[in-house]
Amino acid sequence: MSKDEAETGAREGASRRGFLRAGLAAGGAALLGGKAVAQTAAGDPANLPPNVADWSRYLGEGVAVRAYGRPSEHESHVIRRDVEWLTASRESSVSFTPLHELDGPITPNGLCFERHHGGIAELNPQDYRLVLHGLVDRELVFTLDDIKRMPRVNRAHFAECAANSGMEWRGAQLNGCQFTHGMIHCVMYTGVPLRVLLAEAGVKPTAKWLLLEGADASGMTRSLPMEKALDDCLVAYRMNGEMLRPENGYPVRMVVPGWEANMWVKWLRRIEVGDEPWYHREETSKYTDLLENGTARKFTFVMDAKSVITSPSPQAPINHGRGFTVISGLAWSGRGAISGVDVSLDGGRNWRPARLDGPVWGKALTRFYYELDWDGSPLLLQSRARDETGYVQPTKNELRAVRGLNSIYHNNGIQTWHVTAAGEVENVEVS
């Protein structure tokens, strides 16, 4: 499925060669900044031009000098960033993924956003224990080695904070998709299906809910319906092949595909099986959606279909002037796979299909592109995701009409970027 779509995308890319060529014929090499080669480098190193760069003239650093690698120093601006005024302390706060500096569907481990309620718990894997108790035939304690001995699977899923884009409910606030949409990441998890652990313990017929508890100082707790637990949840210990990072729950976290990331309890130490939800703090006073009439939507677990254009965006302006450019973004849905993305250049009046590229996994980030020969006129860029259930991403105003402005959660409305004639980009609202 994803393979076919990817190949279709490649063919489309190929067919656009004519477009590029036409541009070259008309505008010359300027289209891509390409310049005819006045003096070509010669095949024989002895004939290389005298201005050959230093990096070609001297031996570089050897292997395994960095036994664990890190990015180039020229990429030192590609980092997670927090917003100091947003929270009272960094221990209960958030840092944002630099979406505007990434591409493809995978987030590298070092750049996955953080959301902690009591700071990063630094667990010793030798002393790690996971308790499974409550309405089970046999209460169990698992060591990390126990978990690693059980049948495991590999699945890529997005984790999105329920409050992602939360500050945009009341209008365009933050200038950059890192801050408006950066509480999301997507990695390949390795873990044991939760249903396998539950089968080991034997779930009693009256069991309907689980309590998930973290080993951090906040004792993060969330209630999880049994139906979801038996469906696709993972007790995960790896991300993108290696062990979880400390800030992502090392050594074990829950993966609850498609549901708000607050339920993906990190540093997982305890699973209690019960017959009703627990109504803990993080599912009552927090992570409920307060409506205009003073009532609140509770247990709004699923993250609905959403998308954002990551480039161009306020932190990633168009620097090359008019001509061929690639509009790139991400789409995702907690209900399943993305079936399509539309892009608008005029604030939602007209829509054109984007090209999905790379794997299209269920409940995962999906990369889309829209190639454009930009004439330099201002744009009101939007993207609109559709998923395999038929759900279509709504506008922010459509959401506000129903939900009001009291909540910071579950804002999956369409985002608008205003691109000026100079290529600068700002976060705006369209009516």
User: Distance between CA 210 and CA 134 in Å, rounded?
Assistant: 9
User: Distance between CA 122 and CA 380 in Å, rounded?
Assistant: 45
- Tell me if 56 contacts a second copy by CB under 8 A: yes
Strands 352-353 and 355-357 come out as unpaired
User: Distance between CA 324 and CA 369 in Å, rounded?
Assistant: 13
Residue nearer to a second copy on the CB measure, 250 or 259: 250
Least gap, CB of 172 to a second copy (angstroms):
23
**Which residues 300-319 are close enough to bind a second copy by CB under 8 A?**
319
* 342 neighbors 352 (Cβ within 8 angstroms): yes
Q: What is the pattern of x (binds a second copy, CB under 8 A) and - over residues 101-140?
A: xxxxxxxxxxxx-xxx-xxxxxxxx-x---x-xx---xxx
- Tell me if 154 contacts a second copy by CB under 8 A: yes
**Which residues 385-414 are close enough to bind a second copy by CB under 8 A?**
none
- Tell me if 424 contacts a second copy by CB under 8 A: no
Query: Angle 17-27/2-15 helices, nearest 10 degrees?
Result: 20
Give the single-character DSSP code of 32: G
- Tell me if 205 contacts a second copy by CB under 8 A: no
Q: Kindly tell me which residue out of 26, 50, 55, 88 binds a second copy, with binding defined by CB under 8 A.
A: 55
Q: Which of 123, 132, 117 is nearest to 267 (CA)?
A: 123
Least gap, CB of 239 to a second copy (angstroms):
8
Residue nearer to a second copy on the CB measure, 29 or 405: 29
Q: Kindly tell me which residue out of 5, 167, 175, 196 binds a second copy, with binding defined by CB under 8 A.
A: 196
Could you tell me how many residues of this chain bind a second copy (CB under 8 A)?
146
- Tell me if 426 contacts a second copy by CB under 8 A: no
Q: Kindly tell me which residue out of 91, 388, 426, 429 binds a second copy, with binding defined by CB under 8 A.
A: 91
- Tell me if 30 contacts a second copy by CB under 8 A: no
Q: Chain centroid to CA 73: how far? A: 24
Q: For residue 284, which amino acid is it? A: T
Choose the binding region for a second copy from 99-107, 170-178, 345-353, 389-397 (rule: CB under 8 A).
99-107
Q: Which of 135, 284, 142 is nearest to 209 (CA)?
A: 135
Give the number of C-alpha atoms closer than 13 A to the C-alpha of residue 205, restricted to the C-beta side: 0
Burial of 240 (0-12, 13-18, 19+ CB in 10 A): middle
Give the single-character DSSP code of 211: E
- Tell me if 346 contacts a second copy by CB under 8 A: no
* Other CB atoms within 10 A of residue 321 CB: 13
User: Distance between CA 74 and CA 72 in Å, rounded?
Assistant: 5
Place of tokens 């395999």: 388
Choose the binding region for a second copy from 164-172, 213-221, 288-296, 341-349 (rule: CB under 8 A).
213-221
- Tell me if 62 contacts a second copy by CB under 8 A: yes
Q: Kindly tell me which residue out of 362, 394, 413, 423 binds a second copy, with binding defined by CB under 8 A.
A: 362
Q: Kindly tell me which residue out of 8, 171, 173, 199 binds a second copy, with binding defined by CB under 8 A.
A: 199
List, in order, residues 6 or more apart from 127 with CB less than 8 Å away. Answer: none
Least gap, CB of 93 to a second copy (angstroms):
5
Q: Kindly tell me which residue out of 5, 6, 167, 429 binds a second copy, with binding defined by CB under 8 A.
A: 6
* 160 neighbors 96 (Cβ within 8 angstroms): no
Q: What is the pattern of x (binds a second copy, CB under 8 A) and - over residues 216-235?
A: xx-x-x--------------
Least gap, CB of 431 to a second copy (angstroms):
32
